[in-house]
Structure 1
């Protein structure tokens, strides 16, 4: 089992979630970086990296999966996160766009708005996450947001909220109109995706139409 790797990046694959090949002691390791880690590190060939590793292998997935983190606490949260039904390592790596303390706090406070901002999760997935992990991630929720979190790119709030609405069943043009209407009502909402999404739901409570 591999718990930590330190070495040189010799290859960076461009498709998200970002995958890097890291050489350590003459051996190359393929490591997936969750979105928030990749955005903080901005990996490039020749870069020296030290990563805490989530390692997984199973009968269904005999090829080892390695996922890298700057902080051991983030790796520990990831190990809990992938226990949620329907969320494996690949999906989890793509979904983790926000700092771990932010997500853990959202779980402990049952903040569905924040959890549905994760790509590919939706309301059903958010409910599963809370049902599985509430009461188990309080330590992660109480950690200060540091290192990767501080350096992570501020998300495109408008695009993120539109993506959440589309994921919930709204047509893209409907979602864009609803979000733009909310921003016109209160331009400061663009600074807070949670507040923006709440405003959209408050002014458009109807169930989304089924996409044809």
Structure 2
């Protein structure tokens, strides 16, 4: 990609963010199941359309200083499949007591709204569009407002592809490809959100 093309992509991203003072970098973990190759055939305990958020991680970037200024993390108690599968616990490192003692999606939503009120004029971003779809699914299950309802969502994976002319793979692979230092545990909401924020700051700097 030419320097000029990269500059135009960066300018386009900056124009999208111009109306906002803050950007929330968000990552969700959800109930899930997968049949291991070593297992006998069985039905999935958690169907894809029944996945529920069990952790939300949110990192606040001040778009004027391009610095991380705050973060929010909560576990969420699932309602449809309250018992985590072994696959889910292994993938996310989230354990049963973490979600058993957590608030519901609606309760965590109230906490999050109190938190984000400190950082108005904000949009939010995630690595791909999955997180936006999952929040809508959760809101449907709980018959309540979506956690980030009314805020503009951006797909940072698309930004990365446009800037670097490179088809990004997983979040961790992208962090390493950019020469950045991975932080924390992969597939943990707050750690993944921190790494999304690191990518965004690197792209915008």
**Taking structure 1 as the reference length, what is the TM-score of the superposition?**
0.28
Structure with the higher helix share, 1 or 2: 1
Higher-RCO chain (CA-CA 8 Å, sequence separation at least 6):
2
